[in-house]
Structure 1
Amino acid sequence: MQPEAVRLLCGDALQSVQQLPAGKFNLIISSPPYNIGKSYERSDKLTLEEYTAWQETVAEALVNTLAEDGSICWQVGNYVKDGELVPLDIIFYNIFKSLGLRLRNRIIWRYNFGYNADRRFSGRYETVLWFTKTDSYKFNLDPVRIPQIYPGKRHSAAKGERAGKPSGNPRGKNPSDYWEFSADKDFKENPVWDIPNVKAGHPERTDHPCQFPVELVERCVLALTDPGDNVLDPFVGAGASVIAAEKHGRVGFGIDKEPEFIKIASERLALLKEGALPLRPLGRPVRRPQANERVATTPAEWLAVSEV
């Protein structure tokens, strides 16, 4: 293994993970390839069975590197072939469960923009599976609390000595497993983990074709690790996981087989250390266009269609 000062490794995920020390990482978080034909998958496209077998070997190696009190957060979408959809979280649940891990949450990440389908509803969410290795795991709620919806709500008379006292926590509410990052207004109107995916106009966008937003990683890092802990991403891509780890005082390690992605991640990590990396602020509400903005105005060409 290379020294800890070297955060990014260019190489095959399985081979690289097999070289890592057992029990080293407090959090393993990644969004693995979905095997759907992205540019970095075209040279080695697999059948669903081959893909599953490969990911089983990677998962087994990862579990060996996980600390006893550690967590794995696996963010996945869907595999689609000939119009038929397979939710990858079903496959990965069975993989990690067979390795003895315990599922703590199946988190929904909702976003506004994505692939528009013609013969099925357009997909607008993916999932994060949070597993732990044992029942003794880290969970730091305070750093990720969100404001109470009803801060004035009090316990009823049936609650005995708690009757009449505020029923919520003054430090804030536990986020649900339907994630939303806005701190106030957007939460009350739309209680979801509503984080924009990295598309055109997003400040974090790079040349990576399927980029992971940093703020999605941040909540996992803050809740499931302590400062100084080790965080591993075996499919690091544009570097969101190591950036989130570095930003919050953790030690990030990333692996990717594509040299150009390692270069992007390395450059972004350097910019973060200089305080010059463009990032979407954690907790900023998702922007909704005003009714009078051009992008929110129905085109004249559509009006004739709607009248038919």
Structure 2
Amino acid sequence: MSIDKKKSNETEKIKRTRITTKYIHGDANKKLDELLKKKKRFQLIISSPPYNMDREYEKNSSFANYREEIESVISKLVLLLEENGSICWQVGSYVNKKTKEVLPLDIFFYELFKKHNLTLRNRIIWHFEHGLHASQRFSGRYETILWFTKSDKYTFNLDDVRVPAKYPGKTHYRGEKKGQISGNPKGKNPSDLWKIIESDWDKEVWSIPNVKANHKEKTIHPCQYPIELVERCILALSNEGDWVLDPYAGVGSTLIAARKNNRNSTGIEKYKKYINVGNQRIETLKKGTLKYRKLGTPVFQPNQNMAVARKPEFFNY
């Protein structure tokens, strides 16, 4: 099937399915109260929370105040989660401005989620080649996704995320099954290391480019995460028609990934300008003209014939 025809089929599928994609404008903590009053429930909650740093959407308050507010948000998210639902929490690190000490936020958030008796199913590493520049420590090149479930009976679409077996013709070499194919004909069960550029869910290191200046999905948001990153969680941890929530929706990557895969979604966002951009992206998706990285697209590698990949002659080292 050609790429254009495949894209057309995806667009038609979205149009045929009655799904809801909506933003709620306001503070996450307050708007979650409104959702609780309406007795809303969500199969998947996925987000990247503010890190308490110097950005317009982050207060940069004391860490104690930050903890108090984020704990309140998490307690409400747990109440909004279906019993068989999942929470995917994507975080990086908090750097103390005075001491320059690094606090891995996944460690911080693990404690907060465990207070609500959630179970950590995977700690996924999202690796990217272009990260934060640093001169007094190694440059950061990864963030993590914590996947929690509310109960032991949770949605996990294994067949939707199987990957091609490395040796599909491998057989049992002894015993009663000698000579029979040893693997699953649908593909192998992913390990807990995901490397997207080789075979989508093969390993738990997800090598997906972060959204920088030349990324086709780049908008005005300074810390936008890629649609591809969210899409993998949505496919594995929810079913078509389910509800997905992003309490810090930004420019709508979660909403787009949900709608693209026939899930209902709600996003809460404090800043109207990000909602405007997100709604524009959603409308572009509906028309089939939204530019985004396809699921599993290999990361670009420059060759030595390109000027940008060669060391300038004036470098003396």
How high is the TM-score relative to the length of structure 1? 0.91
- The offset of 1:162, in angstroms, is 2.7
Alignment partner for residue 54 of structure 1, among 44, 52, 69?
A: 69
SS at match of 2:187: coil
Which residue of structure 1 lines up, in the alignment, with residue 218 of structure 2?
205
Which residue of structure 2 lines up, in the alignment, with residue 161 of structure 1?
176
Greater displacement, 11-20 / 45-54: 45-54
Give distance in 1, aligned partners of 2:131 and 2:303. 21
- The offset of 1:167, in angstroms, is 2.6
Which residue of structure 1 lines up, in the alignment, with residue 8 of structure 2?
none
Give distance in 1, aligned partners of 2:260 and 2:294. 12
Which residue of structure 2 lines up, in the alignment, with residue 264 of structure 1?
277
Contact 1:109 1:195 in 2 (8 A): yes
Give distance in 2, aligned partners of 1:31 and 1:156. 47
How many residues are treated as equivalent by the alignment? 295
How many percent of aligned residue pairs carry the same amino acid? 51
Give distance in 2, aligned partners of 1:134 and 1:16. 25
- The offset of 1:6, in angstroms, is 6.1
The code of the aligned residue for 2:185 comes to P
Give distance in 2, aligned partners of 1:11 and 1:243. 20
Alignment partner for residue 115 of structure 2, among 84, 89, 98?
A: 98
- The offset of 1:50, in angstroms, is 1.6
Give distance in 1, aligned partners of 2:284 and 2:191. 33
Task: Work out whether 1:181 is the aligned partner of 2:196.
Answer: yes
Give distance in 2, aligned partners of 1:149 and 1:52. 45
Runs of 5+ unmatched residues, structure 1? none
- The offset of 1:179, in angstroms, is 2.7
CA-based RMSD: 1.9
The code of the aligned residue for 2:158 comes to L
Which residue of structure 1 lines up, in the alignment, with residue 14 of structure 2?
none
- The change in CA–CA distance for 1:193 and 1:175 in structure 2 (over 3 A counts) is farther
Contact 2:162 2:201 in 1 (8 A): no
Task: Work out whether 1:139 is the aligned partner of 2:156.
Answer: yes
Contact 2:197 2:296 in 1 (8 A): yes
**Aligned counterparts, 1:3-152, within 5 A:** 5=20, 7-21=22-36, 22=39, 24-41=41-58, 44-81=59-96, 82-152=99-169
Give distance in 2, aligned partners of 1:169 and 1:183. 19
Runs of 5+ unmatched residues, structure 2? 1-18
Q: Which stretches of structure 1, 4 residues or longer, exceed 4 Å deviation after superposition? A: none
- The offset of 1:5, in angstroms, is 4.7
- The offset of 1:32, in angstroms, is 0.5
How high is the TM-score relative to the length of structure 2? 0.88
Which residue of structure 1 lines up, in the alignment, with residue 187 of structure 2?
172
The code of the aligned residue for 1:248 comes to N
Once the two structures are superposed, residues 140-172 of structure 1 have per-residue CA deviations (whole angstroms, 9 ceiling, x without a partner) of 012222222232333342xx3233333322222
Contact 2:164 2:187 in 1 (8 A): yes
SS at match of 1:7: strand
- The offset of 1:180, in angstroms, is 2.2
Give distance in 2, aligned partners of 1:225 and 1:243. 15
- The change in CA–CA distance for 1:111 and 1:126 in structure 2 (over 3 A counts) is same
